Amino acid sequence: MKSMKRREVSLQAGAVLIEAAAVITIFLVMSLGMAQQYAVVMAELRHHAIATEVLLGPQERSLSLNAADGSVSMLCDPGEDGCVGGVTTPTMTEYLDEIGNFFLSRADTSTTLGVRLGYLESHTWNYALGVSNADVGEAKSVQLNGQTKYYRKVGATTCTNQMLQAEIDSFATTFLTKMLNYKVEGTTPQIGIKLYKVRISDVDYQDFMDFLPVGFGILCTEAFDFLFPQTAITIFPIVPKRLTR
């Protein structure tokens, strides 16, 4: 009888012990999970702050102007494929570095920035067509030939270029393709950069720049690993502050 009672008490003590262990484990997991979420959300909030500073910070010209004929072209680096007019001033690298160096002066060591510049090519005035230029200013094609440059203060990072490249490529392509295919009630709106619109003898003449530049940035903060590795990534479009001047 005694031994039965003793066994019952030890069983109860064991159950309490297991219960206590389970509660402590759950509490720890919950605390770590919340801490991780807190850290990731705070990192993402910091990303928005950096992105805003970058957007309002210094920028180079995003289009190259040929003063001789007034034409504009996409920025191009030496040796880059697809450069119609050759190396431009500024080069694509100079444009990206202007943003990247400002980022490096502001961001903390755990954050990486990737920047690239894309273009939406627009239909321009076709003199051969005369007044029947119905598609002037409408988007013609997406141009995403330029490189993506990455800026970080540390060498080794969990935010690798390979990982970020896929993300920013996907975002940029989707973003520009949506702009390309944008329609309003079956009509295609003009979304390029308007140069002029004049009416001469009841005929409207208008022209647009060949390219509409749209930048893209990706911010990544080192993985938080309280429970499992989780990186904070923020992708954002950059509206260039400067065109040809």
Partner 1 sequence: MIFHRVNQFSRKVASISYFGLSADRLHYKLAGKFQLLPWREWGLSHKSCMLRTGSYVYPAYHKDEGVALVLTALLIPVLLFICAILFDLSRIYINAIYAEEVSLLVLKIASSSEPLGFTPRNSDMDRFVHAPAGEDESITLKRKNFLENKLEEIDRPQYAEKERLILNLSYGALHFLSPDTYFPIPEPLSNGSSAFSELAGRVNCSLYFTYGTYGGTEAPPSPFPGVADADYLVELQKQRDRIFHVDCAVPLVSSRLFGGLLGQQYLELKRESYARHSGNLCSSTVAGCTS
Site residues (CB under 8 A) for partner 1?
2, 5-6, 9, 12, 15, 19, 38, 42, 45-46, 48-49, 52-53, 56-58, 102, 105-106
Residue number, 54 or 233, with CB nearest to partner 1: 54
Residue number, 8 or 204, with CB nearest to partner 1: 8
b/e per residue, 35-73, with b = 16+ CB within 10 A?
ebeebbeebeebbeebbeebbebebbbbbbbeeeeeebb
Helix H or strand E encompassing 184: none
Residue number, 62 or 157, with CB nearest to partner 1: 62
CA–CA separation, 169 and 164 (whole Å)? 8
CA–CA separation, 12 and 221 (whole Å)? 48
Q: For the CB of residue 98, give the shortest distance to partner 1 in the complex, in Å.
A: 9
Residues near 178 by beta carbon (within 8 Å), at least 6 away in sequence: none
Q: For the CB of residue 34, give the shortest distance to partner 1 in the complex, in Å.
A: 9
The DSSP 8-state label assigned to residue 185 in this structure reads T
Residue number, 29 or 129, with CB nearest to partner 1: 29
